[in-house]
């Protein structure tokens, strides 16, 4: 099996699993309990919080653990909306559905949402974001790395420009696809809130984090226990949180080397298929190496994905959330690609697990399938 769908999720590394295991069996205490078992769990969570915070350059008190990227985003957007009397929100058209569907739900509660389109390469323009702002704008949310195209968005410049225009506007960024690809220093940026997920960086599924800059007007959306300094009620997923931090530690130890390897896999695979007639690469030069989005003219992505799957190559079209239904990608449509091209688009996404040999093999399989379909 060649797994080229790492933007959907990644394998949990054995080191991470090993670090998590004790918190499921021997040290399974509830972190809110005051006895020894509880204190051990609490210690593990607080240590993990410092690891996550340090990797993204913020204070540990500004990290709230969540059940994943979707919850972090939901909590960010809802929390800011509830804390403000303003009603206008600006988002990019290429956001993950976790953002888009949430702001559309907020519309039913009185929010007014302006959706800003990217350029043809999926790149957001700083000026267009600022121009979309109004006197009553409460929030701007733009992702750091797009999950379908891999485009690196100018989120730091956007945050700076937004704050310059109106320092009261809160800036959120979905950094789920950025965490393993960019070395972040959010403390030194103008970003107020950022959402993360563990399972995109070889951590476990069902755990994530929300960065909330101290002083940001925000209200919790979960009520009950006083966990996470009363910002997210509910018994903590101790093993998951430990796994998240362990994944970050692994990332940290070989960050540059890992990026170079992923880049080499991407390059070799692309080199092996780029000369096929009608194969086109989408997105700009400024993309993370983990994502390659292409289309093959005259071949529907559904057919190509099925044939690749039969040959043991996993890839996807659009985000994993819509992969089951294969709806045309809202990201590519927002970039202005015609529907015919959108329906021919496939995303390959790589991780450190992939080998150069796999890149060569997958390219051969891909060539063969395209040849077969065209000469049927």
Question: CA-CA distance, 293 to 154, in Å (whole number)?
Answer: 20
Select the residue interacting with ligand PLP from 29, 79, 208, 289 (CB under 6 A).
208
Restricting to residues 176-205, which ones interact with ligand PLP according to CB under 6 A?
176-177, 197, 199
287 catalytic, yes or no? no
- Give me the phi and psi of 315, to 5 degrees please: -140, -175
105 forms beta bridges with none
Closer residue to ligand PLP in complex, CB, 179/359:
179
329-333: long-range pairs with CB below 8 Å, 24+: 329/148, 330/93, 330/94, 330/97, 330/100, 331/93, 331/94, 331/122, 331/146, 331/148, 331/149, 332/148, 332/149, 332/282, 332/293
Question: CA-CA distance, 139 to 16, in Å (whole number)?
Answer: 36
75 binds ligand PLP (CB under 6 A): no
Restricting to residues 134-163, which ones interact with ligand PLP according to CB under 6 A?
143, 147
70 binds ligand PLP (CB under 6 A): yes
Select the residue interacting with ligand PLP from 5, 153, 174, 344 (CB under 6 A).
174
Q: Residues binding ligand PLP: what is the number (CB under 6 A)? A: 15
| Torsion region of 189: left, alpha or beta (phi above 0 gives left; psi -120 to 50 gives alpha) | beta
Assess contact for 65 and 228: CB atoms under 8 A. Answer: yes
Tokens coding 230:
């009363």
Closer residue to ligand PLP in complex, CB, 239/363:
239
Position with the least CB separation from ligand PLP? 69
Restricting to residues 278-307, which ones interact with ligand PLP according to CB under 6 A?
none
98 binds ligand PLP (CB under 6 A): yes
Restricting to residues 304-333, which ones interact with ligand PLP according to CB under 6 A?
319-320
Active-site annotation, residues: 321
Residues that bind ligand PLP (CB under 6 A): 68-70, 96, 98, 143, 147, 174, 176-177, 197, 199, 208, 319-320
């Amino acid at each position: 099996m060649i797994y080229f769908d790492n933007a959907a999720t990644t394998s949990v590394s054995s080191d991470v699993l090993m670090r998590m295991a004790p918190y499921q069996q021997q040290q399974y205490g509830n972190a809110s309990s005051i006895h020894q078992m509880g204190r051990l769990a609490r210690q593990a969570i607080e240590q993990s919080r410092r690891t996550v915070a340090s990797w993204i350059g913020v204070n540990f008190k500004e990290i709230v653990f969540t059940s994943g990227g979707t919850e972090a985003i939901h909590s960010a957007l809802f929390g800011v909306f509830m804390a403000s009397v303003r009603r206008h929100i600006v988002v990019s058209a290429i956001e993950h559905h976790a953002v888009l569907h949430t702001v559309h739900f907020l519309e039913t509660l009185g929010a007014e949402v302006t959706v800003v389109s990217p350029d043809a390469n999926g790149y957001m323009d700083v000026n267009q974001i600022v121009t979309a702002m109004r006197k009553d704008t409460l929030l701007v949310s733009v992702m750091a790395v797009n999950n379908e195209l891999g485009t690196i968005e100018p989120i730091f410049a956007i945050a700076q420009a937004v704050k310059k225009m109106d320092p009261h506007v809160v800036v959120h960024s979905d950094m789920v696809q950025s965490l393993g690809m960019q070395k972040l220093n959010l403390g030194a940026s103008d970003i107020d809130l950022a959402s993360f997920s563990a399972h995109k960086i070889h951590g476990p599924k069902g755990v994530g984090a929300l960065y909330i800059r101290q002083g940001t007007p925000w209200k919790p959306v979960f009520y009950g226990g006083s966990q996470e300094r009363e910002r997210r009620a509910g018994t903590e997923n101790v093993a998951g949180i430990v796994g998240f931090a362990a994944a970050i530690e692994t990332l940290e130890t070989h960050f540059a080397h890992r990026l170079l390897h992923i880049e080499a896999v991407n390059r070799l695979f692309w080199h092996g298929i780029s000369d096929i007639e009608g194969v086109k690469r989408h997105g700009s030069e400024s993309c993370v190496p983990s994502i390659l989005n292409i289309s093959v003219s005259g071949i529907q992505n559904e057919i190509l994905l099925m044939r690749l799957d039969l040959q043991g190559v996993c890839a996807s079209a659009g985000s994993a959330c819509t992969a089951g239904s294969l709806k045309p990608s809202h990201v590519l449509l927002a970039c202005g690609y015609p529907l015919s091209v959108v329906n021919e688009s496939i995303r390959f996404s790589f991780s450190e697990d992939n080998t150069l040999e796999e890149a060569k093999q997958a390219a051969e399989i891909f060539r063969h399938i395209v040849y077969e379909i065209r000469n049927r």
